[in-house]
Structure 1
């Protein structure tokens, strides 16, 4: 039974990572860079190295219209409203997995 539970968790993690990477490559990398290492338009913070919880929190704030950092509120809201909570979790886990960029 433990092997089945472990295999299920491993499979779910792999699916989330794949989904998160797909989402990132479709809607995030243009501004944030292939490894989330870029400052969007030279003014935002680099998101590589952020914890998944922080990323989800910010995405939800953008989605609800509560957040408008650097004047990117409407642009980020447009993208965040396309994501379900599960997709936000997946992309956040992917970004977290990228780690802190090397300088």
Structure 2
């Protein structure tokens, strides 16, 4: 049962990371078209996905800190990679939206 809980948590990280990156990319596309309201909405959506991922990640870290050690699998490493890339992409997307906004002014 613990393996099933861990698998669900890991898959949640992957899904939320992918969704966060997708929303951030949609923000860049919207800004490129000059739709800054949509761009901001997509950045906010990306932040919500990252918040969900962060909460799941924090739960896993808390369990580890309490001595409930989990087996590190390739899938878990992949999930962490998704989150790190999504965070980086979200930060870059915010900068790109700002740049497109300045160019439009």
Q: TM-score, normalised by structure 1?
A: 0.36
Larger relative contact order (C-alpha < 8 A, sep ≥ 6)?
2
More helix by percentage: 2
Query: Structure 2 length as normaliser, TM-score?
Result: 0.35
